A and B are shown apart, each in its own frame.
Chain A
Amino acid sequence: METVWFAIVAAMLAIYIVLDGFDFGVGILHRFVARTNQERRVVLAAIGPVWDGNEVWLIAAGGVLFMAFPKVYATAFSGFYLALMIVLWLLILRGVAIEFRGHFDNPLWREFWDTVFSVASGLLAIVFGAALGNLVRGVPLDETGLPGMALFTNFWPGQYPGLFDWYTLLVGLFACIALAGHGAIYLDWRTTGPVQERSHQAARRIWLGMVPLWVLVTVATVAVQPEIFTHLLSRWWSMLFILLTCGSFAAVFYFHNQNRPLAAFLSSSLYLLGLSATTLIGHFPHWLRSTINPEFSLTASNSISAQYGVQVALAWWAFGMLLTCGYFVYLFYSMRDKVDSDNLHGH
């Protein structure tokens, strides 16, 4: 049962990264690819109907983690106190920026909220990337739990690292660039005119920049947490995920050159899905890895809820996901056409 629920939470997080990833990327690029108010409204209309639903994957994944692995939820959230509060404030600012910008017809008002939206999206991508880096690297869990973690210590992964060190910052930077690339391809698919041209060009540059950065992050991960790779190599089926990730990375370039933005977007989604899944498979069975003593680590098996609760939950979860997939397919299907820049309605 613990494996099933680990996989469920991991899958929900991976879907979150793919879905909210593109609207984070759109946020990061917003001020660069769209210059006039009309262009910015087009960009926001491209994510308007979906961003809120995308964000719910984070909330729902958090809720499921709470239900299935309460000890992990309690330990990680209190240990990462300050970082999570920063995440909350950024999420609040990012969410209201989208809603607020259109309410006053004043260029300074709009410029302010556009900037808030961009900066919050970029910082969130970095912090979420760094959070993933913390899981991979490990945290100073002792027999009492996770003492409130410092934001930084000596910027070096060791027994008592802070939330930010060179490794987690590198992962954060990689996340920020990767999501920007994902967002650029999304805009290439969903928009027309100058916004599309700029997004198309930005996508090319960003994805080329990703090649050395991805190699660097992979090498750094081998150095910081070699166990991830020994885990991956010990399970034959994890090769499928590695192949999927590498294949879809190449497919992004192929379809982008062919000017097939929808195919490129699906490839970039598969790439992020594959990369997140591969990382979490390598991470399994750990939730929180102790840098002090492996005995203190929280794993799927030592933190799973009792049998009856997670069995009942499996039934409602499956039913709920069926409904949810229906909503998302319908929502994305009903907005499959490009954003019509002459007819921006909504509010």
Chain B
Amino acid sequence: MAEALIWHRLQFAFSVTFHYLFPQLTMGLALLIVIFKSLALSLGNERYNETARFWARIFALNFAMGVVTGIPLEFQFGTNWSRFSAYAGEVVGQTLAMEGVFAFFLESTFLGLFLFGEKRLGPRGHLAVAASLAVGSWLSGYFIIVTNAFMQHPMGHAVGEDGILHIASFRDYLLNPWGLWQFAHNMSASVVTAAFVVSSVGAYWALMGYHREQAAICLRAGVIAGMIAILLVAFPTGDQQGKMVAEHQPVTLAAMEGLFEGGPYAELAIIGQPDVAQRKLQNPITVPGVLSFLIYGTFGSTVKGLNDFPEDQWPDNIELLYYSYHIMVGLGTVLTLVMGVASLLLWRGTLLQTRPMLWVLMLSFPFPYIATTAGWWTAELGRQPWIIHGLMRTADAGSLQVNPGDVVFTLLGFVGLYLLLGMVFVLQFVKLVNNGPVAHE
């Protein structure tokens, strides 16, 4: 089993990381499409409709990739994590079933109407369909995040006499405060990704001198939505998320921050390389007291370090956790600056003429994807060594009945298939962008 575990983990990590490249765009983009369509209706400007149709084509391509790469995740709970499923299925099965019944049916039927029914539905009907589609995709995000929140901070459950988990309070399970903040944080980040992609395409068209009006629409919407969303990612959602980690997973917080020796006036590491064997941060640049302040609001508060916990409670990959967290925060800071400068130029009406800024916006689209991925890795690595925090260890959750060799084979299969699909996807994405907003077919 020890040998199989690493393969189970790698397969899930790979397939969920790849999968989430698509929904993080579509959830945010759904909101922006609704905004474009409402503006088209209220301003009577056909350019907004063309822009909305262009982004609907991008949405459809990404949505298809999101659907097909999402199904393997639900399956893997049973195929690769059968002991987890048998132990926690009564609880987490609730939200996975609800996601199918309440979110996926809504999304998939309304996507059909949205893509094929613009003429038949008329502008108002089509806007209503787009809004329902956005609601469906956000609901799906909620159910998945509540499931994850249970694994991070279990609520509403009871351990039965049969040794497995049962639902004790449906309400507590569904309204887990961890889930509410995580949802807000995650959905703001999804809007950030979509806003950067929309601005990036707008900047590309503007620099090339293509589709001037639609380029301006994309830049304006992308920069305004991006600025609002990225501030929300940091405050209050990211801040609250961090405080919850500090309260409920203090050892995770210490590992994220690379804090080995705790105490009052705990320092915030800006950079530095954790050396777990020596239990110290190499070449650190730290600011004393700031970590204490960020968590407890006063500089003198005591923050526990890794040395305050037995090693079997430590996350099992502290280096990867530390870097994921610092990459997320670092990129988040840089992206906030980018949006800040772009917003200032937009406000002064000179963004479209400032070519260096357009270059920056055009090239910035990969970074919100990286920051979001790093954020999820922080959450998932930080939860280790637990699969359900405090209740079940990841090492006890894999399927015993599956031959480890089979998992190696299927991991290789997923890697090969996804790399090929990813390349084909990029080709089509680039072609759609080059076809521009007025292309048909």
Tell me the A69-126 residues at the B interface (CB within 8 Å). Answer: 70-71, 73-82, 84-85, 88-89, 91-93, 95-96, 98-100, 102-105
Q: Is the CB of B166 within 8 A of A103?
A: no
Asked whether B413 is an interface residue with its Cβ less than 8 Å from the other chain, the reply is yes
From A162-170, A172-180, A269-277, A324-332, give the one contacting chain B: A324-332
Which residue of A45, A59, A148, A346 is within 8 Å of B406 (Cβ)?
Answer: A148
How distant is the Cα of A189 from the Cα of B61 in the complex, in angstroms?
29
**Least CB separation from A102: chain B residue:** B441
Q: How far is the CB of B76 from chain A (nearest CB, A)?
A: 8
Q: Is the CB of B77 within 8 A of A66?
A: yes
Asked whether A56 is an interface residue with its Cβ less than 8 Å from the other chain, the reply is yes
Q: How far is the CB of B94 from chain A (nearest CB, A)?
A: 5
Q: Is the CB of B402 within 8 A of A81?
A: yes
With a cutoff of 8 Å between Cβ atoms, the chain B residues found around residue A77 in the complex are 75, 77-79, 82, 85
Q: How far is the CB of A72 from chain B (nearest CB, A)?
A: 9
From A200-208, A256-264, A280-288, A311-319, give the one contacting chain B: A311-319
With a cutoff of 8 Å between Cβ atoms, the chain A residues found around residue B110 in the complex are 327
Q: Is the CB of A316 within 8 A of B79?
A: no
Interface of A is mostly: helix
With a cutoff of 8 Å between Cβ atoms, the chain B residues found around residue A59 in the complex are 71, 74, 100, 104
With a cutoff of 8 Å between Cβ atoms, the chain B residues found around residue A45 in the complex are 116
Asked whether A64 is an interface residue with its Cβ less than 8 Å from the other chain, the reply is yes
With a cutoff of 8 Å between Cβ atoms, the chain B residues found around residue A78 in the complex are 78-80, 82, 399, 401-402
Q: Is the CB of A82 within 8 A of B406?
A: yes
Q: How far is the CB of A347 from chain B (nearest CB, A)?
A: 5
Q: Is the CB of A89 within 8 A of B417?
A: yes
Which residue of A144, A305, A316, A331 is within 8 Å of B98 (Cβ)?
Answer: A316
Asked whether B344 is an interface residue with its Cβ less than 8 Å from the other chain, the reply is no
Q: Is the CB of A88 within 8 A of B72?
A: yes
How distant is the Cα of A291 from the Cα of B97 in the complex, in angstroms?
30
Categorize the interface residue count of chain A: 35 or more
A96-B421 contact, Cβ under 8 Å, with A63-B99, A77-B79: yes
Asked whether B43 is an interface residue with its Cβ less than 8 Å from the other chain, the reply is no
Which residue of B108, B119, B399 is within 8 Å of A345 (Cβ)?
Answer: B119
**Least CB separation from A310: chain B residue:** B90
Q: Is the CB of A76 within 8 A of B78?
A: yes
A52-B67 contact, Cβ under 8 Å, with A75-B82, A345-B119, A347-B60: yes
Q: Mark B426-441, 1 if CB is under 8 A from A, else 0.
A: 0010011000000001
With a cutoff of 8 Å between Cβ atoms, the chain B residues found around residue A53 in the complex are 105, 108-109, 112
Q: How far is the CB of A62 from chain B (nearest CB, A)?
A: 6
Asked whether B160 is an interface residue with its Cβ less than 8 Å from the other chain, the reply is yes
Q: How far is the CB of A54 from chain B (nearest CB, A)?
A: 8
Q: How far is the CB of B79 from chain A (nearest CB, A)?
A: 5
Asked whether A323 is an interface residue with its Cβ less than 8 Å from the other chain, the reply is yes
With a cutoff of 8 Å between Cβ atoms, the chain B residues found around residue A146 in the complex are 401
Asked whether A243 is an interface residue with its Cβ less than 8 Å from the other chain, the reply is no
Q: Mark A249-261, 1 if CB is under 8 A from B, else 0.
A: 0000000000000
With a cutoff of 8 Å between Cβ atoms, the chain A residues found around residue B111 in the complex are 52
Q: How far is the CB of B340 from chain A (nearest CB, A)?
A: 36
Seen from chain B, the residues whose Cβ lies within 8 Å of a Cβ on chain A are 56-57, 60-61, 64-65, 67-69, 71-72, 74-75, 77-80, 82-83, 85-86, 88-94, 96-102, 104-106, 108-113, 115-121, 160, 164, 166-168, 170, 399-403, 406, 410, 413, 417, 421, 424, 428, 431-432, 441
Selected A-B contacts with CB under 8 Å, 12 pairs: A49-B117, A78-B402, A79-B401, A96-B68, A96-B421, A96-B424, A99-B64, A103-B432, A148-B403, A309-B166, A327-B110, A330-B113
Seen from chain A, the residues whose Cβ lies within 8 Å of a Cβ on chain B are 45, 48-50, 52-53, 55-56, 59-64, 66-68, 70-71, 73-82, 84-85, 88-89, 91-93, 95-96, 98-100, 102-105, 144-148, 305-306, 308-309, 312-313, 316-317, 320-321, 323-324, 327-328, 330-331, 334-335, 345-347
5 additional A-B pairs beyond A64-B100, A70-B164, A324-B105, beta carbons within 8 Å, are A56-B108, A66-B78, A67-B93, A89-B413, A96-B421
